[in-house]
Amino acid sequence: MKYSRILGTGSFLPKKILKNADLEKIVDTTDAWIVERTGIRQRHIVSEGENALTMAESAGRQALEAAGLMPKDVDMIIVATTTPIKTFPSTACYLQKSFGIGGCPAFDLNSAACSGFIYGMSIADQYIRQGTIKTALVIGTEVMSAILDWTDRSTCVLFGDGAGAVVLGASDKPGILSTHIHADGSYEDVLSLPIMERKMRSEESIFLQMSGNRLFKLAVNILGDLFEETLAANSLKKSDVDWLIPHQANIRIIQGMAKKLDLPMDRVAVTLDEQGNTSAASIPLALDKVVREGKVKRDQLLLLESFGGGLTWGSALVRF
Ligand code: UT7
């Protein structure tokens, strides 16, 4: 078995929806500003009883069903989340308990922030290629609503809650062609969630902090280089790419990246308008959407890309 292949995808979105008009009542913002500057029109928000674990479980079970597999078939669980129900035990361990499959490795990736899902895919891919495991469940799940300062218009309008999942399985046919993950800690101040720092100082407010404008410019430069690196590693051209499955942070960034690849927007998975930025969940949610709509066909070439706190960034080139 030479490759890992996507065997199934799944997702979960909370029923509760917060529209831009609802935010106009909370902070000094307008629907027009949010749509024009970000592309976001609404976002899903958890209700009582929903959290990173419950959403991960729903998305994970759906992905397993799509793959025609049972929880017992899973050899590794990786959950990418910056909003786990507890720092430890990991969300992945709780999930393993719900699935009743104790024994296999299960861990959370919370330090790669929005890039956590791509980091998780990269790790699972290495294990599968090496033949150590056959099947991995990789999930991104986020309750961003819990870490937002709902009085800060520069951040609270951007994010949403949800979960997405993929099942990766060993295959002789090409699947994941390559993954490329990176980080640059010199940009640590651009996006952060200072939980322990604040706790040690007995500060009560623990919110996501972001220099949006700086991050925007960094993302545009980084992602351009990332595309070139990813295609060059596979001796492929941008015209070979059928679909862009981007992290959903800002429609202007996504449109810029589509342009770099010469891809029309109907070959780009966009969920941002309905879901906002769901951090580590955004890529599997976007992938699941275009897969379930029947738009992405088997053997098409998908370019998945992300960037986020750290800074971290990464890509996966996937023969679907
Ligand atoms: O998952 C990865 C993490 N996130 C990102 O990648 C986000 C990347 N950055 C962005 O998407 C954009 O930078 C934002 C959407 C966050 C901001 O858009 P921008 O065009 O870069 O706006 P800005 O921060 O330069 O602010 C422009 C103006 C400011 O007012 P003044 O100083 O010009 O009077 C802000 O105070 O827009 C104001 N502003 C708002 N106005 C209405 C900021 N947020 C809002 C708001 N409603 N919600």
168/181 same-domain check: no
Determine contact, residues 43/18, Cβ cutoff 8 Å: yes
Closest alpha carbon to 181 in 20, 316, 66: 316
Q: How many domains does the chain have?
A: 2
Strand partners, 313: 182, 307
Active site (catalytic) residues = 114, 247, 277
- Of all protein residues, the one whose alpha carbon is nearest to atom 23 of ligand 1 is 213
Note the pLDDT tens digit of each residue in 42-53: 999 999 999 999
Verify that 234 and 168 share a domain, yes or no. Answer: no
* Pairwise CA distance, residues 21 & 37, whole Å: 15
Amino acid making up residue 40: I
Q: Lowest mean pLDDT: which of 26-35, 169-178, 197-206?
A: 197-206
Give the mean model confidence (pLDDT) for residues 10-20. 98
> What average pLDDT score do residues 16-21 get?
98
Q: Is the pLDDT score of 112 beyond 90?
A: no
Give me the phi and psi of 150, to 5 degrees please. Answer: -75, 5
260 and 132 together in one domain: no
* Of 269, 288, 318, 290, residue with least CA distance to 58: 288
Distance 212 CA to ligand 1 centre (A): 6
pLDDT in tens, 140-193: 999 999 999 999 999 999 999 999 999 999 999 999 999 999 999 999 999 988
pLDDT classification of 201: cutoffs 50, 70, 90: confident
pLDDT for residue 194: 83
Q: Which tokens belong to 10?
A: 């799944």
What is the band of 312 on the pLDDT scale with cuts at 50, 70, 90?
A: very high
Mean pLDDT of the chain: 95
Indicate if 42 and 188 belong to the same structural domain.
Answer: no
Residue 205 domain boundaries: 177-319
* Pair (184, 56) in one structural domain: no
Question: The domain that contains 205 carries what CATH number?
Answer: 3.40.47.10
Region of poorest pLDDT, from 9-23, 87-101, 189-203, 281-295: 189-203
SS (H, E, C) the chain: CCEEEEEEEEEECCCCEEEHHHHHCCCCCCHHHHHHHHCCCEEECCCCCCCHHHHHHHHHHHHHHHHCCCHHHCCEEEEECCCCCCCCCCHHHHHHHHHCCCCCCEEEECCCHHHHHHHHHHHHHHHHHHCCCCEEEEEEEEEHHHHCCCCCHHHHCCECEEEEEEEEEEECCCCEEEEEEEECHHHCCCEECCHHHHHHCCCCCCCCEECHHHHHHHHHHHHHHHHHHHHHHCCCCHHHCCEEEECCCCHHHHHHHHHHCCCCHHHECCCHHHHCECHHHHHHHHHHHHHHCCCCCCCCEEEEEEEECCCEEEEEEEEC
Q: How far is the CA of 207 from the centre of ligand 1 (A)?
A: 17
Find which of 21-25, 84-88, 194-198 is predicted with most confidence, using mean pLDDT.
21-25
CB atoms within 10 A of CB 166: 31
pLDDT of residue 198: 76
Write the pLDDT tens digit of every residue in 224-257: 999 999 999 999 999 999 999 999 999 999 999 9
What residues does ligand 1 touch, defined as CB less than 6 Å away?
Answer: 29, 33-34, 37-38, 114, 153-154, 157, 191, 212-213, 215-216, 219, 249-250, 277, 279, 308
For residue 89, is the peptide bond before it cis, meaning its omega torsion is within 30 degrees of 0?
yes
Q: Which among 172, 202, 226 is the end of a domain?
A: 172
pTM beyond cutoff 0.75: yes
Q: Which of 119, 142, 172 is the last residue of a domain?
A: 172
Residue 217: band (very low, low, confident or very high) from pLDDT cuts 50, 70, 90: very high
Same domain, 100 and 197: no
Predicted local distance difference test score (pLDDT) of residue 1: 61
Please tell me whether residues 70 and 213 are part of one structural domain.
Answer: no
| Residue with CA nearest ligand 1 atom 28 | 154
Regarding whether 24 and 158 lie in a shared domain, the answer is: yes
φ, ψ dihedrals at 149, nearest 5°: -85, 105
Ligand 1 centroid to residue 32 C-alpha, Å: 13
CA nearest neighbour of 109 among 4, 181, 61, 9: 181
Pairwise CA distance, residues 162 & 281, whole Å: 6
The answer to whether residues 146 and 196 belong to one domain is: no
Dihedral-angle region of residue 111 (phi above 0 means left; psi in -120 to 50 means alpha; beta otherwise): alpha
